[in-house]
Chains A and B, each alone.
Chain A
Amino acid sequence: MSLADGLLVLFFAFLGVAIIVTLVSSGRSGPLLMALFGAASGALLVAAGAVILAGGRPVDLSLWSIPGLGALHLALDPLSALFLIVAGLVFLPVSIFSAGYARRYEGRYSLKAMAVNSYALFASIALLLSTDSLLLFLLAWEGVALFSYLLVNFEHDHAPTRSAAYLFLVMAEAGTAAVVVAFMLLANGAHSFDFAEIRAAASSAGPGIRWAVFLLSFFGFGVKAGIVPVNAWLPRAHPAAPANVSAIMSGTVLNMGLYGILRTNGDLLPLTQVAPGVIVLLVGALSAIVGILYATTANDLKTMLAHSSIENIGIVVAGFGGAFVFAASGRGDLAAILVTAALYHMTNHSLYKSLLFMGAGSVDEAVGTRDLDRLGGLARWMPLTSIFFLAGALSIAAIPPFNGFVSEWLTFQGILRSAELASRAVQVAFVLAGACLALTAALAITCFVKAFAMGFLGVARSPEVRRARERPLITVFSLGIPAALCLLLGILPTYVIPALDRAARPVVVETSSAVELVPPFFAPPPYSGELPEGFVRDFHDIGAQVGQGLLPGRGLVVLHRGGPDRHVVFAMAPSYMILLLVLLGGGTYVVVRVASRSRSLRRARQWDGGLHRLPHELTYTATGFSNPVRVIFRGIFRPRTIEDLHETMSEHFRGPIRRQYEEVHVVTRLFVKPLTRSARWLSDNLARMHSGKINTYVGYVLITLAVFVVLAWFT
């Protein structure tokens, strides 16, 4: 039994103990136990994953065998190890956060239920990731859906919560049904449910089977990931769920969908055609743009974050799609880069989205509202929470030196490499996707400038804001963990990328990309054996070796080793960028101080036009800030404004004017509505055959019998 085996077994045993202890313990100690057990199990999981990613032996544990179904065993390869680490990194801070946050439900709802359900969800996620048998996989998949549903439905006496949770359950189960069909097709030729045998058997599948498996698994798993057009549950479930549950859902459950897509289409039955990859790419780009458009215009902090999850998952899926296309076109090196970039973005998204959801929860708890039009100026009353929320906002808006920048940069550069593909049509698809992603990145900045500026800066827009106080230290601390990780992943990608490269190994056949991505440039020579000479020469020409021998580690991310005449395509030095930023900022400060030493400084109030005080009605609101986006993209939003001006008493006296603004999500309008309408039409027409007379039904039986007799006669 290796170290990783032990840690994994310990984790499951620990969660079992945690569930039992929680069930028998008194209610008073619930939140504290939740923090302890959650954080400890999260740490265990991170450790287990890290051992494997660091080069430890993959887990292979045989469990009991079930007659007729074969032996069940646990197995962890580097890919699942990465997902395990991410899940653990989300669970660790969120559990600590829950301890403070759950107190608001004390006495009204059962905290024990929340604790037990989240442990069970955690266990199912770990099981889902650490199994290599279809049966256990599906069991764990159902567990994830079920316990997520129970957690979303936590405030079960609210009708909107119930309907949102129900919508989630229905969509998740529909997705599961598609996945089950895909797995049945996959396992058809194999004699057991083991991934290894399925992989071997599936390699001989025909194109029809391949397409069916791809479509069913992509959209089936896509429900959990929240891609367009199966994203309807996300913006409804998140505002309904408690903030800690939202953080877990966005940080881990969405990843399970991505894991499924990657495991099925990258590992079990690798895509050999270009077309499915292009579909994945375009669906991802579409999800990104639709998600961010609705995020920019949403005023509820959690709805906004939910829409933004669709956007980020879209970017990841687009990265997967690009990788599938490159892999199918025989460019394994580029595929490896894109998978690495997509996995990087997924990790980043889990971290900053859980951070932002926890921040939104803190704000909700302190102020009592999540409406950005009623918040404002919170930085004065909740300084630490604001700083951590700002870190999350900067990360998600892809501003260096935070982590979002690195992964989006890699994704963009990877997609730009489509110029090396042969097919012109595929190139056009890449260009379209790239343009969508670029627009998405710009809108993401708008969106999170709005979120932070309207929520935390400016004047207080409601009296509740002025009564807000900083959350307890433990809550603030739990926000600090992912914020620090976001910064670390942003400045040390040269250490993260090789690990991610190892994680991408099961998916991509050719993986030496980490060497190309992160050459050891600042380490002292000799490195020339590792790098081709032209490559090194190109770098000397642009002066990248400055500081060689002085600076530690590998400071440079290089996208790709190009052709013989152009070795270096793109490069950036995120680790040294922050050094430079600090130097420039500090240097500017010193210069300004020295230059203005002889001048006297007079501080005056900001000029506000001579107003006695600035009423918040005069300041910019979130609605006003995002209105340009709403106007520019009104072809997509299609808002319906109902103005009721008829409530007048007579010609001269106007009564209250009612103005209603309605918006139907573009996916619901274009995809769900026509589907439900045609289903209803079909069932209406089929219902006509039910006349209610027994003679008719006997007639139907007779006709059926006759048809089968005739069929049997001829065949």
Chain B
Amino acid sequence: MAGWFLKGVALGVKTTKYPRRAEQAPGVSPGLPRPTRFLDAAQAQEVASRCPTGALSASGSEVAVDARKCIHCYRCLRSDGAAMSWSDDYDWADVPESATGQGRPLGFEPRFRRSVNILVVDAGDCGACLNEIAQLAAPQYNLHRLGFFLTPTPRHADLLMVVGPVTDAMRYPLLAAYEAMPEPKRVMAVGTCALGGSVFGPSFIAGGGVAELLPVDVEVPGNPPPPLAILHALRVVSGQIRGARR
């Protein structure tokens, strides 16, 4: 009868040590290219042209990276010629300029420090980002230990987490959910699609990201972003740490 208990004890704690110590497990993040200086402009041009989404842009011998567009295809890394340098970190969360420009201070709401309730809205997601968000509630990441809770109703939500490029059919429900949330409230765009539409938009069926509709406070790049990147963004939005500005 106590088998499950003993088994559980024998298994030990599987939760990541993330906020206290960096998670070192291999493959925990797909990584992002780092801005790289090449030998000459031609080489930089060649590397930048390999990117299918236009995340890389060459100026002179330097190649700059727009993380918002990167889909981790590794074409800039795995090829016969020169390669971008790569980082395997996951603290990608970014606070966009617009978040500071709307009369709201960037220093986040002190009320959010202890607990944040999150409403996840699937605005036309392919399922990848949702999968990663679902992983957050699993024992390995266990977002509840940091004071984050998923809620099914906007009435209890402090944070609107949007995934997907915001298809036309989801525009109204997304706005309605935002309207229904009590003040103060924050919006987090998760994934490449939510940041700029990616391959889905702007098009006849979808818009070009959440920012077209709602004031986005925190952006999480990645296609999909790994759970730790989302966890990092959550810590940024709750004011536990400062967001990195790239």
Contacts and interface: CB of A to CB of B under 8 A. Distances in A.
A602 B179 CA distance: 11
A640 interface: no
Interface stretch (A146-154, A206-214, A605-613): A605-613
A604 B183 contact: no
Contacts of B183: 602
Interface in B168-191: 172-174, 176-177, 179-180, 182-183
Given A602-B183, A604-B179, A605-B180, A610 B174 contact: yes
B179 A605 contact: yes
B153 interface: yes
Interface string B142-164: 00000000000111000000000
B180 A612 contact: no
Nearest to B180: A607
B172 A610 contact: yes
B180 A604 contact: yes
Nearest to B175: A610
B215 to A, nearest CB: 18
B210 to A, nearest CB: 15
A607 B174 CA distance: 12
Output the residue of A602, A604, A610, A612 with the most chain B CB within 10 A: A610
A609 B172 CA distance: 11
B153 A607 contact: yes
A610 B176 CA distance: 6
A610 B173 CA distance: 4
Interface string A575-615: 00000000000000000000000000010110101111000
A140 B12 CA distance: 91
Interface string A603-630: 0110101111000000000000000000
A605 B182 CA distance: 12
A602 B173 CA distance: 20
Nearest to B152: A609
Interface in A632-660: none
Contacts of A602: 182-183
Q: How large is the interface on B (under 10, 10 to 19, 20 to 34, 35 or more residues)?
A: 10 to 19
Contacts of B177: 610
A500 to B, nearest CB: 51
Contacts of A607: 153-155, 176, 180
Nearest to A607: B180
A201 B155 CA distance: 78
A610 B181 CA distance: 12
Nearest to B181: A604
B153 A612 contact: no
A604 B181 CA distance: 9
Nearest to A612: B172
Contacts of B180: 604-605, 607
Contacts of B155: 607
A611 B177 CA distance: 10
A609 B170 CA distance: 12
A104 to B, nearest CB: 43
A607 B151 CA distance: 14
Nearest to A600: B183
A604 B179 CA distance: 7
A607 B155 CA distance: 8
Nearest to A608: B176
A706 B195 CA distance: 112
A321 B136 CA distance: 68
Nearest to B153: A607
Interface string A143-161: 0000000000000000000
Interface string A381-411: 0000000000000000000000000000000
A393 to B, nearest CB: 31
Contacts of B173: 609-611
Contacts of A609: 173
Contacts of B172: 610, 612
Contacts of B153: 607
Contacts of B179: 604-605
Nearest to B176: A610
Nearest to B121: A610
A199 B17 CA distance: 96
Nearest to A611: B173
Interface in B50-79: none
A607 B177 CA distance: 8
A610 B162 CA distance: 14
Interface string A107-145: 000000000000000000000000000000000000000
Output the residue of A604, A611, A612 with the most chain B CB within 10 A: A604
Contacts of B176: 605, 607, 610
A610 B180 CA distance: 9
A607 B180 CA distance: 7
A607 to B, nearest CB: 5
A602 B182 CA distance: 9
A571 B183 CA distance: 50
Contacts of A610: 172-174, 176-177
Nearest to A606: B180
A609 B154 CA distance: 9
A607 B183 CA distance: 16
Given A602-B182, A605-B179, A610-B174, 15 more contacts: A602-B183, A604-B179, A604-B180, A605-B176, A605-B180, A607-B153, A607-B154, A607-B176, A609-B173, A610-B172, A610-B173, A610-B176, A610-B177, A611-B173, A612-B172
Q: Which 8 pairs across A and B sit closest by C-beta, in order of nearness?
A: A610-B173, A610-B176, A607-B180, A610-B177, A604-B180, A607-B155, A607-B154, A612-B172
5 contacts: A602-B183, A604-B179, A607-B180, A610-B172, A610-B174
Interface of B: 153-155, 172-174, 176-177, 179-180, 182-183
